[in-house]
Structure 1
Amino acid sequence: MNSNLKRFSVGKACVKSSTQTTISRFFSSAADKGAEVDEPRINCTDRSQESRGKKRLLLPDGAGSLKKRLKVSLNVEDLEKDEKPMSSASADASKKVDKQGSASKASLSCSTLEKLRGFSCHVGSESREACPNVRMEGLGAGQRENTIREQVKMEEDAEEELVHQSKQAVNFSQFSKARGVSLSKRSPPEPAGPNKRTKSIYTPLEQQYMEIKEQYKDTVLCVECGYKYRFFGEDAEIAAKELNIFCHLDHNFMTASIPTHRLFVHVRRLVSQGYKVGVVKQTETSAIKASSANKSSVFTRQLSALYTKSTLVGEDVNPLMKIGDLEQAEDVVQDIASSYLMCVSESWEKQSKELTVGLVVVQPSIGDVMVDCFKDNAVQADDRIRIEKRDSSQFEYPTAMMTVTNLYGSVTCQTAEDQEKGFSPFYLNLESQIICCLGPVIQYLTEFKLERVLLCSSSLKRLSSDAECMILSATTLKNLEIFCNQTTGTVKGSLLWVLDHTRTPFGKRLLKKWVSQPLKSPSEILLRQEAVAEILSSESVVVPSIQNLLTRLPDLERGLCSIYHKKCSTQEFYLISSTLSRLSAEIQALVPAIHSQLSSALLKSLLLDTPQLISPAHNFLKVLNEKAAKAGNKTELFEDLTDFPVIKERKDEIQAVLLEITEHRRELRVVLRNPSLDYTTVSGQEFLIEVKNSMSSIVPSAWVKISSTKLVGRYHSPFIVEKYQHLLRLREQLVIDCGREWISFLQLFGDHYYILKKAVGYLATVDCLFSLAQIAKDNNYCRPEVLEQEGHIVIQEGRHPVINMLMGEQDQYVPNDTDLQGEGKRAMIITGPNMGGKSSYIRQVALLTIMAQLGSFVPASEASFGIVDGIFTRMGASDNISRGRSTFMEELVEASEILSRATARSLVILDELGRGTSTHDGIAIAYATLDFLIRDMRCLTLFVTHYPPLCELEKLYPCHVGNYHMAFLLNERETEAEGEEVQPEFITFLYQLTEGAAARSYGLNVARLAEIPQSILTSAALKSKELEAIVNSRRKTVKLLTEAWKITNRESLLEWKKVRH
């Protein structure tokens, strides 16, 4: 049979689905371009049923059924029958096409067109028989033509009705202002509908994905599918880009996949790139589903966890759950960068014209919650202070600010302390700005199931307290390089880098808080100093024993918080609880020595209280089976099942089924006439009955053959098939029951969370004290004297802590003295050559003050400090393009902040104030500012300048101002021959602070060091000499006129003329 079957294109254009990705549309367009209209063909391929010899007719896009592709058999006779009712002109055209074998465009009869139209029937959810367009064999030719015309007319009417309805559905909300109204994107097609691009239905898994994606449109979803997690659509494209994995088109969506055991790695990578990641897990097991009514449907799945930068809590993102050896686990559990969630609320008071800012800062991974409310100025300096104390790049700012009406209405107090003092007054007394922040934070954390961290009043602390801690402005933290250096932005070269010799992650975090918030209480500072001195001088066995205990500890603070959120694995729980139990036992053994050999009150109280606080951990540890906990086997996790009746009952049921299967073995031995017959297990299949192939004739026909080899066949009897399926269901139900009991177990442990967290805080404090002692011992620091009087900084042979450590054992650092007294000389005007060490010196004074008030020893031979309430700095030069501020504007904004916030007990550091504008304006601003600080504010001041007129303030305030310069050696020619070129001078820096003002700044020396061309240096030296001569001439004239003005009689005038001549 020879026929030319054509592939015809349907007139209607397919509308591509909006849910498809960019790549999938690209493949579609490429496929469409590749299809040539001039050579229509029917492509017959053998797909899922190749063995049966059936062939499937692949029709063009838009010609498939919405429910499934219909299998069609077309032959020449059918086409001829369909072409009989054609007109003569159409018949001739058809014959012409058949003869030529190809045509640019095919003409179709109504019947043929209608038969093809049947394959694009819009009734996708109905069967083929329900669609009247598919088969009409029972009708005559005339009846078929009439029926076709009626159906075509009905379809046209239906399309007109749809167009009319769509026109009526149009509203003009899109042209209105979006005030509180969010317009959602187009939702994906209904799950039962087809993909408009491919005209094929979505798979059940794709339908399930679309339903979940509709609820979490801003989330990258990882969908569990057996042994791997899959991404779909745009999520797959994102995963392919960020994770460097392969992405391909599968059915209707682009897809990519990752293995289950690498989930935590890939989730962290996506989160680090700023994505919100959701993990969708299967909630059904194969055995349970096989026995359910919907056993033929897809596995049910639901979102189990959400992760962002600030909410990386849970076993899915914890590498510990992937490791069996806890010794290796301790190396893996590392402290990741601290991530905070911050909510800000601002309110403007029109009457007082003040901006009130409320803050709520949460770190869910370690359980820290901080609140604050303060008045801010136009430059929002306080806001920047609080953000600068944390890594601002890791903050997340929720945009929605809501008023909390009933914040803790249904909350039960978590601690006895809360129950005693009552919980309601706590949130009722909070400022309204803080309440407006707590609402969105609670809603946000509830989405991640982390809201428990906010439930207790004792977990909320004020972010900063000016009454208890020294004020370190945001500019000060940056200029003094407290947390990172300004060159590379890393911690090396900062004050924190110098002081951090902690052994634990939670100790490292606490030390950072100590550095950012130095104490103002002399008694608390004294307690820390005594503890550090005790560690340095004590010969007790307690000190080395505690040091060894702190070494290689996992992150107990983060682990406890993970347990409290009920998101930890069994491995992590066992590691945390066993570590706490070990610490309790070993510290308890040191209690007698602590009482007798330690004298520091702080150190004794910390070590004596810790064992009692962490003792509850041992009670939970002894319930667990160590081997099962390390392996992550929850079904064997609990040793004694007395307190777990559900698990005990399920295990009894399993044992009963196993007993029945064991007894059934007797019958099998009789049937097979083999008294030694026993069950075997192969590839996970249990209770297999092995029968030699030579004896297969005696195997009952009802038995099910599972597998076979050349020698034996393996079978299941009907009884075993039934019982084995029942056993699998019970085992899977046991896993579910154990998971629920595990959550309840974590809930009980979480009731002790705040007590255990307090104990970990004690250990962190001990770790910080050991760190301060270590740095003091290694660098020969001295113990400073802390005085209650204000305005007092006296340092003998002080050294810059960072530079001193970077230089190491070279011992080339030049120490310097400092003497600032509130009632004496409280201002130092420092001049000298560029690069002479002025900025390093003033930083040194500030850093030593911070170290002294946080309880550390300082790099000096002797030092005494009065309590400073704040350190304010203005150093360097940089603009702020984002805020539209020039370099000089930034300089004056920082100066304005200092003048408005500093007090008589503050330390103010100004480095070259006024250099960003003209000389006259710069000198005027610097002079007026310094005069105000000396006369009115009366604070301790270090002022670095290159303006000689400022040194005149020493004459105006001789008791309170001193001029100093950094010493140097000037190497220049004594005489120059006439006509010889002027050469720049050579300077040798001595880095020694010396009394008196420097005559010049010797900037040409720095130009020479910077390798400025010699010709330019020569020209600059000549110009400098000319300008200096002019200035000196003017100064001499002014001095002469001043002296002459003071002459009152003739004798004085003659004496003055004699001296001048």
Structure 2
Amino acid sequence: MQVELINHKDEESDSSTPPTKRAKSTNLNKGTSKKPTKAKLTPLESQFISLKLNHRDKLLAVQVGYKFKFFADDAAIASKILNIMLLPGTTKFEDLKNGKFAYCSIPDNRLHIHLQRLLNYGYKVAVIKQTESAAIKNMESSNKSGLFERKITGVYTKATYMGDEINTGDPNFYVKNSGDDGQLGDYILCLDELNAPQQISIVAVQPLTGDIIHDTFRDNITRDELETRFAYITPSEILVINNQSSISKETLKCIKSLNKGTMNIMHVKCPSDLEEEFVKSFEKITTDDNDLIQLSQYYQVNFSASVLSCVCELIKYLEQFKLANVFTITSNVNNFVNSRKFMLLPSHTLQALEIFRNETDPSSEQGTLAWLLNHTRTKMGQRLLKKWISMPLINIDAINSRLDAIDDLTSDFNHLIDALKNQLNSIGKAGSDLEKLLIKVHYSSTYNMERITRKDLYLMLKCFDEVFRMIKNFGEKPLLELKASVKSDLLKGIFEELYDLSKDGNLTKFLKLINPSEALNDRNVTDQKIGFFHLGQDPMTDDISKELEEISKVEQDLNTELQEIRKFLKRPNLSYVTNLKESHLIEVRNGKQVDSLPKDWIKISGTKSVSRFRNPTIIELHKRLQYHNELLLKNCDIAFNKFLGMIDNHYRFFNQAVKQLSIFDCLLSFTASSLMNSNYVRPKILPDEQRIEIKKSRNPIIENLPHSYSNYVANDINISYLKERVIIITGPNMGGKSSYVKQVALLTIMCQIGCFIPCESAEVGIFDSIFIRMGASDNILKGKSTFMIEMLELANIISNFTDKSLIILDEIGRGTGTNDGIAIAYSILKYLIEDPKKPLTLFITHYPSLHTLENDYPQVVGNYHMNFMEKGVKNEKEWPEIVFLYTLVKGVVSNLYGLNVAKLAGIPTDVIQQAYEVSERLKSIVEMENINKFSLEFCKLIQMIKKNEVDENYITDKLIELSRLNKL
């Protein structure tokens, strides 16, 4: 696939410009660039140019001996990022007037480290290696003195690199390598937008695990649905189908606004003949006709044309990375949204509750719900935990099964459970990411690449074997006893599944083929390759045995020749010497002995006292030995690849074990979360009642922060569909209003993911969605003001809430003037009160006048405030100082005490007193006389938004008109 950067200025900037992490927008359908001007080139430079012409979108790392070199503009970029010397020459690829490229270089055994740094800056890097050795070139090539053949052996981006080059370089250069490099894995996402009907389809792939997510949905003008999917998936690369002009400006704005600096955005054309493209795509990743038919049927039957377009483009894109065969594992394909199984948490909810991202310090996970609940032992468990947190359950049996598991894991000791826990601890301490290693086997077997090392493969198989052996050794009786003693069907299912898997004998057969001592010997990769298999146990190792026999014959001939040389030189104890990797040398002292040697003996090396030679026979035998050694290593790689294919045929078997171990890891994590603090209790889940009744509840995040709140104040939560389902909360600034409503939402989510919660007792209904609107901030990238963002987000909430939604609104109307703000807050609140779906609502406001709604709807609305005490009030003209009590109590607060916060911030007392006097005067100005009329018109606008009958411009004009109506 030929790719061209749209923004050439970015790639060809002046070398003095420091490197920055930034996205690169590319067009995958444009042709290659013009050829550089002619100049006298070295053969290596000519080879580089021929490769670069077809790979302009990549940095090329070219292997030259024991180094990797970057040339021209690639070198300018690499030298800045890697902080290495740039040797002089032209950095412009199209300009070679002085006939010399600038270049920089790195040692081959440091490629892995430097490669990661380049990828983290958002670049795509192609690794070009010498594909023939000197030995094979001398024996087989007709052009023995020509340039070494070089090919692209790997193309990588941040999302597609899996430590493939960790062992590049000297095979005997030891690099400590565990199966885990700390990655959880980035996604690559493809997006297709249709105008009739207006809908978006996405397919996202996580190469590190093989996870595939698809979805098709309709969206509003703010692209809230798309933004929600980006919040969950967080792609580092996006393919957009159609040309830039064909994608709506709203979608492009959404993509660009979510770009964190290193996201690559690429535009591709829509397939002209989808059916033909689809077949061609799958022919590239499977050679079996039956598999091709089954795959075609699976995708064509289950997915829409727009999803299939995304699949085709991702296969084409991933083919350059040799990862496209991920789509042959259909068991890893999942729908993003399944309304019958999971609670909906829009992106604004994830952000407001800081589920995964700390909004104060985005670089740290501390303070998030994911941080609180993550006590997993393995990376595969950590990935599954993130999915569990992002997709709370709405099936009561599934929720109770997780809660039952926590009860079971915290009750009586069970030897089988404890043994599996110890196995999981061992996997985690060893750093073996079984999920990642398993998908590496799949990629390697298809593309004849060694993405997984022999040591990692053996350790992976050994991990599985130890788990299965442990389960099998316990036998069926302890399993039956466990099933009788535990309540959780989920926990029972883990052990049943693992016990059934342990009966399979293929894993034992695989391990019998491996020589463990050599498999673990990664200090000498050459010896490891040769000794990895027990020879003679499988036909795939026959060629290895054959080459070992050939090598043995050559070595015998070399020994025979040595005997002759001993006789000739009259040195019976003479032996071959090795110097600087040159073996089979005859070392002779300088002087008469050297002078008497035959003229056809070739001097290889020497010192002042000795010279080292090879005679013609040794030269020939040495070449043959090198040749057969190279063939031996090739045959070892071929056999290893066949072995990977054998294991990959059982991918689903191993993957099922990974899933069960991951589930067990997550349950242990929830158990640890429930035990780390006192007074964590099991919530009672209500099947058919929308009610949250929690006694002495605590905010799970705040009480676990390092600056522990030892005097943290617990609060009751009582909100019900039948009584006071709409709660209006007022109170002083910094009094704890926002913390309280976030606490309600967090505890609800924790209940539905199957976790114990911090309180004395809890009865909680099942909610299918939580909508939150809080905070006020402009979004310049989206081109919208605070007020417009607020209105559009409210419109999205109103369009999507159900009778099982929990809605939290904080300071609605704050983004506009006081009168308009009161009118809008009143209108929204009244709409939620009167809507037939009757969602549970928590409404924080600084507008005390809204308390009158309790009188109008006494069984529906309740007024509450965060309690406090006044002190130091001498007369009515002075502003009072307050003490926060942080408890929710019945009643409304007319004074908002914002001036107390000003005092805490250090504002001078005389300024605060003046502000207090102005505030008291303004209270008499605000009236409600026009609000009812405003509310009626505003509710009409809401209904139009809900039915998707208006666009953004109409909403803006209507809000301006309503604002004029509300002027006093």
Q: What is the TM-score of this pair, normalised by structure 1?
A: 0.75
Q: CA deviation at 1:587?
A: 3.8
User: 1:869 aligned to 2:784?
Assistant: no
What's the CA shift string for 1:580-619, capped at 9, x where partnerless?
Answer: 2223323433455444245133223213423654764443
What's the CA shift string for 1:26-83, capped at 9, x where partnerless?
Answer: xxxxxxxxxxxxxxxxxxxxxxxxxxxxxxxxxxxxxxxxxxxxxxxxxxxxxxxxxx
User: 1:1010 aligned to 2:905?
Assistant: yes
What's the CA shift string for 1:679-722, capped at 9, x where partnerless?
Answer: 33333333333344454465333333334445544332221111
Q: Matched residues in 2 for 1:320 and 1:968: separation?
A: 68
Q: CA deviation at 1:994?
A: 0.4
1:363 maps to: 206
Q: Matched residues in 1 for 2:413 and 2:289: separation?
A: 40
What's the CA shift string for 1:609-654, capped at 9, x where partnerless?
Answer: 2365476444323322334333233233222244222222222211
Deviates most, 466-475 or 724-733: 724-733
User: 1:373 aligned to 2:247?
Assistant: no
Percent identity for Structure 1 against Structure 2:
36
What's the CA shift string for 1:1000-1042, capped at 9, x where partnerless?
Answer: 21122112112222221121122233344677999xxxxxxxx
Q: CA deviation at 1:293?
A: 1.3
2:456 maps to: 572
Q: In 2 relative to 1, CA 317–754 (structure 1 residues): closer, same or farther, beyond 3 Å? A: farther
2:154 maps to: 305
What's the CA shift string for 1:513-550, capped at 9, x where partnerless?
Answer: 11111011101111111111111113223344333322
Asked if the contact 2:86/2:103 (under 8 Å) is kept, the reply is: yes
User: 1:186 aligned to 2:56?
Assistant: no
User: 1:973 aligned to 2:820?
Assistant: no
Q: In 2 relative to 1, CA 319–826 (structure 1 residues): closer, same or farther, beyond 3 Å? A: farther
User: 1:476 aligned to 2:355?
Assistant: no
Gaps of 5+ in 1: 1-17, 26-177, 196-200, 977-981, 1035-1061
Q: Which has the higher contact order (CA 8 A, sep 6+)?
A: 2
2:947 maps to: none
Asked if the contact 1:581/1:617 (under 8 Å) is kept, the reply is: yes
Q: Say what the alpha-carbon RMSD is for the aligned residues.
A: 3.1
User: 1:434 aligned to 2:301?
Assistant: no
1:119 maps to: none
Matched AA of 2:796: E
Q: In 2 relative to 1, CA 401–590 (structure 1 residues): closer, same or farther, beyond 3 Å? A: farther
2:194 maps to: 347
Q: Matched residues in 2 for 1:949 and 1:769: separation?
A: 48
Matches within 5 A, 1:120-519: 182=30, 184-189=32-37, 195=39, 201-249=40-88, 252-291=100-139, 292-317=141-166, 329-330=177-178, 333-349=180-196, 354-391=197-234, 393=260, 396-403=264-271, 404-406=274-276, 407-408=278-279, 410=283, 424-489=297-362, 490-519=364-393
Q: CA deviation at 1:727?
A: 1.3
Matched AA of 1:988: V
Q: In 2 relative to 1, CA 179–1014 (structure 1 residues): closer, same or farther, beyond 3 Å? A: closer
User: 1:953 aligned to 2:853?
Assistant: yes
Q: Matched residues in 2 for 1:310 and 1:1015: separation?
A: 58
Q: Provide the secondary structure at the position in 1 that maps to 2:88.
A: strand
Q: Matched residues in 1 for 2:834 and 2:42: separation?
A: 81
Q: Matched residues in 1 for 2:695 and 2:866: separation?
A: 17
Q: In 2 relative to 1, CA 299–417 (structure 1 residues): closer, same or farther, beyond 3 Å? A: closer
Q: Matched residues in 2 for 1:996 and 1:418: separation?
A: 68
Matches within 5 A, 1:754-903: 754-780=652-678, 781-806=680-705, 810-903=709-802
1:666 maps to: 563
Q: CA deviation at 1:674?
A: 3.5
Q: In 2 relative to 1, CA 502–320 (structure 1 residues): closer, same or farther, beyond 3 Å? A: farther
Q: In 2 relative to 1, CA 606–561 (structure 1 residues): closer, same or farther, beyond 3 Å? A: same
Whose Rg is larger? 1
Q: In 2 relative to 1, CA 427–318 (structure 1 residues): closer, same or farther, beyond 3 Å? A: farther
Q: Matched residues in 1 for 2:769 and 2:596: separation?
A: 95
Q: What is the TM-score of this pair, normalised by structure 2?
A: 0.82
Q: Matched residues in 2 for 1:419 and 1:297: separation?
A: 42
Q: Matched residues in 2 for 1:1033 and 1:242: separation?
A: 62
Matched AA of 1:516: S
Asked if the contact 2:184/2:383 (under 8 Å) is kept, the reply is: no
2:422 maps to: 548
Asked if the contact 1:321/1:570 (under 8 Å) is kept, the reply is: no
Q: CA deviation at 1:449?
A: 0.7
Matched AA of 1:258: I
Q: Matched residues in 1 for 2:287 and 2:887: separation?
A: 59
Q: Matched residues in 1 for 2:220 and 2:207: separation?
A: 30
User: 1:912 aligned to 2:761?
Assistant: no
1:620 maps to: 510
Q: CA deviation at 1:454?
A: 0.7
Q: CA deviation at 1:787?
A: 1.6
Deviates most, 609-618 or 532-541: 609-618
Q: In 2 relative to 1, CA 23–1016 (structure 1 residues): closer, same or farther, beyond 3 Å? A: closer
1:160 maps to: none
Q: Provide the secondary structure at the position in 1 that maps to 2:218.
A: strand
Gaps of 5+ in 2: 1-8, 17-25, 90-98, 236-259, 445-450, 930-968
Q: Matched residues in 2 for 1:381 and 1:492: separation?
A: 26
Deviates most, 924-933 or 502-511: 924-933
Match of 1:718 among 609, 616, 627: 616
2:19 maps to: none
Asked if the contact 1:909/1:943 (under 8 Å) is kept, the reply is: yes
Q: Matched residues in 1 for 2:172 and 2:416: separation?
A: 33
Q: In 2 relative to 1, CA 916–414 (structure 1 residues): closer, same or farther, beyond 3 Å? A: farther
Deviates most, 571-580 or 477-486: 571-580
Q: In 2 relative to 1, CA 413–955 (structure 1 residues): closer, same or farther, beyond 3 Å? A: farther
Q: Matched residues in 2 for 1:907 and 1:561: separation?
A: 39
Asked if the contact 2:87/2:103 (under 8 Å) is kept, the reply is: yes
Q: CA deviation at 1:383?
A: 0.7
Match of 2:880 among 953, 972, 985: 985
1:737 maps to: 635
What's the CA shift string for 1:981-1008, capped at 9, x where partnerless?
Answer: x432101110011011112211221121
Q: CA deviation at 1:227?
A: 0.8
Q: Matched residues in 1 for 2:774 and 2:314: separation?
A: 37
Deviates most, 251-260 or 472-481: 251-260
Q: In 2 relative to 1, CA 534–187 (structure 1 residues): closer, same or farther, beyond 3 Å? A: same
Q: Matched residues in 2 for 1:397 and 1:358: separation?
A: 16
Aligned residues: 845
User: 1:1022 aligned to 2:917?
Assistant: yes
Q: In 2 relative to 1, CA 346–787 (structure 1 residues): closer, same or farther, beyond 3 Å? A: same
Asked if the contact 1:342/1:398 (under 8 Å) is kept, the reply is: no
Q: In 2 relative to 1, CA 180–784 (structure 1 residues): closer, same or farther, beyond 3 Å? A: closer
Match of 1:539 among 413, 437, 448: 413
Q: Matched residues in 1 for 2:860 and 2:400: separation?
A: 30
Q: CA deviation at 1:343?
A: 0.5
Q: In 2 relative to 1, CA 1027–871 (structure 1 residues): closer, same or farther, beyond 3 Å? A: same
Match of 1:942 among 836, 842, 846: 842
Q: Matched residues in 2 for 1:415 and 1:764: separation?
A: 32
Deviates most, 544-553 or 180-189: 180-189
Q: In 2 relative to 1, CA 420–1022 (structure 1 residues): closer, same or farther, beyond 3 Å? A: same
Q: Matched residues in 1 for 2:875 and 2:412: separation?
A: 65
2:3 maps to: none
Q: CA deviation at 1:417?
A: 13
